[in-house]
């Protein structure tokens, strides 16, 4: 989405550069199979990664899609799957983990399930009627069947997933050999996109590749949508990644990012600029989320204003916690709350 002056050097993945359902070598000891599930959340599709040789680990087995399951089975022919790593529980990342576990006996490894037993119930409210709905076309010849489908507000969740092995930052989640060279994959808990989001740092003694899931993506900014998405946690997690010395970041969707530290600093600056825009808007009297979105996302299609509202809400939750913005009334920030400067 546009509207923030801080540029991000996005990294594209040309459709001609890959083929769905085939396995390709992206680096020594790292292979990728891309699922044919393109969308506004997944870019061209989910990239499932196979790391190691012979005894391997699989990162983000992907969605319940027959073609992807068959392609992954073919790619793993001749290998022994020892570990199944899951970055988080959105439905384009974790569902095929159950099938792969049943087929191989390999344990699933993650920070935890999506649903946190200690999470407080939080109703984020609703959008006002008509918000985020495009006006009818002035073209009398326009057909209703030609209308675009309703834009999804957020990614669907795999609530059934629970890992066999729970890991957190610093835990070695998988290990193996590439030839005679040992490798490890170490967990790095990076909450923000979801509370259980975890990256995995692959180290073969020569390079460190951070498999970033959806925490850092080269083609787009990351969705941070309450109640599980947490903007304050996301800022903190970005700063952790920016402070690392990885040689490359490999997201689940799109191409590797070869200048990780500079790129992640751009993401932080972009989010900080958006946050300041929201503060300035409230101070100018835009007291509701629809009013803020209408101005701040004026260049964005109206149909995308509902997901934009979730992003603005996530910023406002952080700003209220920081004491910069106040909720008019009592309770936690909601989509239908009125806000005021402190």
Tens-place pLDDT, residues 89-101: 999 999 999 999 9
| pLDDT higher than threshold 60 for residue 147 | no
Token pair in block for residue 142 = 């326009």
Interatomic CA distance for residues 64 and 93, integer angstroms: 9
DSSP 13-74: --GGG--TT-EEEEETTEEEEE-S--BTTTBT--EEEEEEESEEEEE----S-HHHHHHHHH
Interatomic CA distance for residues 195 and 88, integer angstroms: 9
Token pair in block for residue 21 = 């359902």
Token pair in block for residue 247 = 């040689």
Tens-place pLDDT, residues 279-327: 999 999 999 999 999 999 999 989 899 999 999 999 999 999 999 999 9
**80-85/108-110 β-pairing:** parallel
What lies within 8 Å, CB to CB, of 87 at 6+ separation is 59, 60, 93, 110, 197, 198, 199, 200, 211, 212, 213, 214, 215, 252
Q: Is the pTM of this model over 0.85?
A: yes
Tens-place pLDDT, residues 245-281: 999 999 999 999 999 999 999 999 999 999 999 999 9
| pLDDT higher than threshold 80 for residue 138 | no
Tens-place pLDDT, residues 192-222: 999 999 999 999 999 999 999 999 999 999 9
Give the CATH H-level superfamily of domain 15-270: Ribonuclease Z/Hydroxyacylglutathione hydrolase-like (3.60.15.10)
**Predicted pLDDT of residue 117:** 77
Mean pLDDT computed over 178-196: 96
């Amino acid at each position: 989405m546009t509207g923030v002056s801080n540029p991000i050097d996005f990294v594209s993945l040309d459709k001609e550069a890959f083929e769905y359902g085939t396995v390709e070598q992206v680096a020594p000891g790292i292979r990728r199979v891309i699922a044919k599930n393109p969308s506004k959340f997944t870019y061209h599709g989910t990239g499932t990664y196979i790391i190691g040789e012979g005894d391997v680990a699989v990162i983000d087995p992907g969605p319940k899609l027959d073609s992807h399951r068959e392609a992954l089975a073919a790619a793993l022919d001749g290998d022994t799957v020892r570990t199944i790593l899951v970055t988080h529980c959105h439905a384009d990342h974790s569902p095929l983990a159950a099938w792969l576990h049943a087929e191989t006996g390999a344990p699933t490894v993650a920070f935890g399930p999506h649903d946190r037993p200690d999470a407080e119930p939080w109703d984020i409210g609703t959008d006002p009627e008509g918000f985020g709905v495009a006006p009818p076309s002035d073209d009398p010849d326009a057909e209703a069947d030609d209308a675009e489908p309703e834009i999804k507000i957020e990614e669907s969740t795999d609530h059934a997933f629970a890992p066999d092995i729970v890991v957190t930052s610093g835990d070695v989640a998988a290990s193996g050999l590439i030839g005679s060279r040992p490798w490890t994959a170490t967990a790095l808990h990076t909450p923000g996109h979801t509370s259980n989001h975890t990256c995995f740092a692959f180290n073969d003694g020569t390079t460190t590749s951070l498999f970033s899931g959806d925490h850092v993506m080269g083609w787009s900014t990351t969705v941070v949508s309450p109640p599980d998405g947490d903007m304050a946690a996301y800022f903190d997690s970005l700063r952790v990644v920016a402070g690392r010395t990885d040689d490359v970041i490999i997201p689940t969707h799109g191409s590797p990012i070869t200048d990780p530290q500079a790129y992640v600093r751009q993401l932080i600056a972009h989010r900080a600029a958006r946050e300041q825009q929201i503060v300035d808007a409230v101070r100018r009297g835009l007291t509701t989320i629809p009013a803020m979105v209408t101005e701040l996302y004026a260049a964005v299609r109206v149909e995308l204003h509902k997901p934009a509202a979730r992003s603005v809400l996530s910023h406002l939750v952080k700003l209220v916690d920081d004491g910069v913005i106040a909720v008019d009334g009592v309770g936690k920030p909601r989509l239908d709350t009125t806000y005021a400067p402190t």
